[in-house]
Structures are given as C-alpha cells and as structure tokens.
Amino acid sequence: MPLRITCRAAEPLDLRADVTALGVFVFTRELPAPLKPLDALLGGGLTKLLAKEEFTGKKDQSLSIPMLGRGPSERLVLIGLGEKTAVGDGDVRALAAKAARLTNVDRSAHLVLGIPIELQEHLRAAAEGLELGAYRFTKYLTGDRRPKTELDEVTVAIAHKPGAKTKRAIELGQRVALAINQARDLSNEPGNALPPEGLAAAAQAVAKEHDLKIHVFDHKEILRRGMKLIDAVGRGSVHEPRFVHIEYVPKKAKKRLVFVGKGITFDSGGVSIKPAAGMGEMKHDMSGAANVIGLMDAVAVLQPEVEVHGIVACAENMPDGNAYRPGDVWGSLDGKTVEIINTDAEGRLLLADALAYARTLAPDLLVDNATLTGACVVALGTTCSGYYASNDATAELFRRAVKASGEQMWQLPLLEDLREQLKSEVADIKQTGDRFGGSITAALFLREFIGEAKHWVHVDIAGPASTERLLGWAQSKGATGHGVLTFLALVEQAAE
C-alpha cells in the first residue's frame, strides 16, 4: 500500500512519532540550530554523544539514538548531508530513502522527516525517496514470515504552511516512486509467475490505466515482421516471446525519445546452460524491460511535452530440443546475419531486433537498458551501472541526467579495435567477442543495429546483486529501478 505522506508546518522535534529523522549539514563545533533544544533537554548529552560517535554531518554518516522517553519520538535518527553547496535532488531523495528504510528496520510505523529549510524546495524528491526506501517485496511471505509492523505514515516537517504546490510535489514524487516500485515488483516475481506473456500483460495494464496506445506482437507477428533473433532466443521455451511498444504522444511534443528494455523473464543460459549456483537470480534478467514499463507509468503521471516510446522484447531462454545452438546462423530484423557463439549471450539478440524496430521511429534520443553482461559488474561492482554513448554530446547529455537523478553510473568506452572480435567467417557478425572486454563488445554489437540514429545510449545495468545498496532503497533483491530516475531526467530535460 502507498504510504500516507503529509506535510506540517512545525519543528520536527515537536511532532510525535515512532522515529524522527533529521537531515544534518556538515558542522564543526557549534551544534546545528534544530538540535539545540534537544541538547538542552538532555543536559548537553547530545553534544557529548555526537562527539563520541564523531558524527559531524558528513555525507553518508548516520546515527540512531533511542530517546528513552525524553522526547515525543521513541528514536531519533541523524543523517549526514555533507556540505550545503553540494546538495540537490539526489541527496534529498537518498535522505528520505534512508530514513524510511531505517524506520522499517526499527519495526516502526510512523516517521517524522525533518528536511533543512534550504532543501524544502525538493519535496518531490523527498516523496520519491520515502516510497523507494519503504519498499519491501513480501508478496509470497505468509504467517510469521510476514512483517508484523511496516512504515505506513510519514509526516514531513517544513517551515511554511503547505499549499497546493507542496501537495502536488508530494503527490508527483510518490506516484513516480510507485511506478519504480512496480518495476521492482516485476523483477522480483519468480519466473513461474511472470513468463513473457505475463510481462506483456503488465505493460498492457499500465497502458490501460493511463489510456496510452500499445502494440503487443505475439509469436506469429514477431515471425511475420522478421524479428528472427527474438524468435531464436524464445524457441526453447513453452512460453512464446512477446514484443511490446507503448506510446506516450502529447499534442505539443518537443522531441521524441525511445527507450528499449531487455525482457528475459528467466535465463537458464539455454544450451550453454549456466551453473546451478545463482541461476535462481536470473528471474531478474528482465530488469531492463521492467524499467521501461515503470518509466512509461511515471511519464504518463508527469505528462511532459515530450513524445516517449517504450519498447520491450520479452522471451524466456530455455534449453529444449527446439532451442537455438552455438554455431547457428540467424537473420535479424535489420537484415544482418548473426553467428551464435554462446546461447547465454541472448539479451543482445533481443535488443538487436528491438533497436532495429526502434530506429524506424526516428528518435531524437534512443536509449536501451539491460542486465546484459557480468563483465560490467566485474568492472564497476554491484552498485554502479555502465553506459556507452554514440558520441560525446550524447554522453554529456546522459551524464547530466545521471547527476540530476542521484544514481550511480559510469561511462565506458566504445573501443573500436575490439570490433575485430565480432568478425565472423560464416555470417555478417558474431554474437560475442573474446572473454576480455565483454561489456564493450556487447555494446559494439548493439551499435550495429541502431542504423542512422545519431544519439544512442546503451546502459549495462548493475547485476542482480546490486539491490541492497542502491541509495539504500531495496529490502529485496532485483536490480530494477536503477536507471528509471535517470531516464525520467532525460525526458524532463527534453521538455525544457
């Protein structure tokens, strides 16, 4: 259920709650003004505790203090924000997310959030963070396994009486976060509960809710259109592939952005089967597709004057007698032939046909995202996604969106000499290159299918283990959600 989020013109330490969380800028000797009344109440005890714990408001510091009846809240949580000049939307979002998560960890239901007056213009980001931080995937827990108490009410203490603008900011932020959480729910669904047709149905539900136009291609239509690589990947499963195109087209659109997501609802590796250890995490291999579905939900809420298209290619990669094989040569929607080297490198095949379709929309910006390579996780770790761009201008545009979102991504190079690894003796291109530089060669492979699109970004999402630490949001596994805020920033920048 969505949180009940309200704003009140009050000092946060005057409000009764289970937990009161305060964002604190860096300070040196003098205690921040909001904490002085509490320090006086405690006879200087707060000053002594902060000194002992060496808490000075540095970014990422936090301190949880049980109040033992000495205030209106049972627990006070201080969260460091760093220097005033360096704080923006991403930091406020992270503050709220950490506060919500810590409240859940404390098994508490009511949170008061205090945001410094200098940051109270960022209330949409605060609402986003609250819903993201409170997220838990508990659908399949029963009896004693279900949480007994969860955060359900938040009071945001601000300096002014909340008006219509404030309430609208909270509402928008909450709806954006719920869209992201829907994407995370999709990723956390087990493979038996969400086959390709189920993922397509989730996209249809979003389109129906917002009256968006949607096209869903079944297997016959995929074959008729010549999407041979999508067909190849899905041949080994009893669940046939699906292809989804959602449209958000306002009357006065300034630009056209197209987002593409990989939707492998379960990845066994196919004939090149994965090791048993960790294979269960491959239910998350549709995280890129879930991100696109969540993005379209959020876009429909925000209603920017930008045309946005969401494209999702869905399949299940399984190893039955009809499965595609290493050594096969398959055609593609683009027309190029592809030599299959490893059936566990299936995501790029889905994306190749999806990109070939997407480029026909003549986008001003084309973005694909996928949990594509383990090589990227090896390079950047589990809390940072990598991205590639077709040129410096596009890379800078995407970098600004990443910074605005507060997410963690890093640009990787499209090293042209590695293109040699994709040369095939029997087809136009190999599906994979050598072991080293695997994320780069995957991006170079995808670039072959973008046609004349000048502005293209490929995002290699941090792997399924990334969830536990991404801005402190997740209580459950699943990389989904990482990227949606950046994509929304791209959309909102295009609307300016």
Q: Would you name the residues annotated as active-site residues?
A: 274, 348
Residue with tokens 């087809």: 427
- Residues 127, 170 contacting (CB under 8 angstroms): yes
Output the CA torsion sign for 96, 484, 216, 315.
negative
The alpha carbon of 260 is separated from its chain's Cα centroid by a whole number of angstroms, namely: 14
- For residue 211, count CB atoms less than 10 angstroms from its CB and return exposed for 0-12, middle for 13-18, buried for 19 or more: exposed
Burial of 142 (0-12, 13-18, 19+ CB in 10 A): exposed
Neighbours of 329 (CB within 10 A): 12
**Is there a contact between 337 and 329 (Cβ–Cβ < 8 Å)?**
yes
Closest CA to 246 of 194, 193, 283, 205: 205
Q: What separation in angstroms does the CA of 418 have from each of 423, 437, 446, 454? A: 10, 8, 13, 21
Helices (H), 26-88: 36-41, 45-53
Buried b or exposed e, range 75-101, using 16+ CB within 10 angstroms: bbbbbbbbeeeebebbbbbbbbbbbbb
Nearest to 361 by CA among 140, 213, 172: 213
